[in-house]
Amino acid sequence: MQQRTILFVCPHGAGKSRIAAAWFDGLRLPGWTASSAGLQPQTEVSVHAARLLADTPVRPLLDEAAPRPVSAVPEADLLVLIDGDDRFPADVRWTLEQQTFDQQMCAEIRDRVHALAATLAPPP
């Protein structure tokens, strides 16, 4: 089975995209893996990402490596832009209702990830 990658991109690649990638990888969708990046990456992963995922089953899947720019990530099969500039090309765009790093934001990202994953077919 061919492996496909979904890339979650947010402004800084340090919080929202990391949370989305962890939730996606937690689904263990056959043939798919997640990565994250930022339009203007911060130097460190946001403390909010670890805090919001602390009591979830996907906490161990949180990538805590330094945020990367989109240009440093191999080409993805599907690019999801979270709260980013409309001029940046993306396959899917999410504008989160919740803009505060709290449990409601984490739940919104989780729910959006689950809904997106339900639309993805396994690779050939």
Q: Is residue 124 part of a domain?
A: no
Residue position matching structure tokens 């449990």 = 103
Dist. CA 124–CA 102, nearest whole Å:
38
Residue-number span of the structural domain to which 28 is assigned: 4-118
Structural domains counted in the chain: 1
- Whole-model pTM over 0.85: yes
3-class secondary structure per residue, the chain = CCCEEEEEEECCCCCHHHHHHHHHHHCCCCCEEEEEEECCCCCCCCHHHHHHHCCCCCHHHCCCCCCCEHHHCCCCCEEEEECCCCCCCCCEEECCCCCCCCHHHHHHHHHHHHHHHHCCCCCC
Give residue 2's pLDDT: 84
How far lies 119's CA from each of 4, 66, 114, in Å? 14, 30, 9
Q: Is residue 16 part of a domain?
A: yes
Residue 34 contacts residue 25 (beta carbons within 8 Å) = yes
Q: Is residue 123 part of a domain?
A: no
pLDDT in tens, 46-69: 999 999 999 999 999 999 999 999
Give residue 124's pLDDT: 66
**CATH code, domain with 62:** 3.40.50.2300
Give residue 1's pLDDT: 65
Q: 103-118 and 16-26 are packed helices; what angle lies between their axes, rounded to 10 degrees?
A: 50
Q: Is residue 109 part of a domain?
A: yes
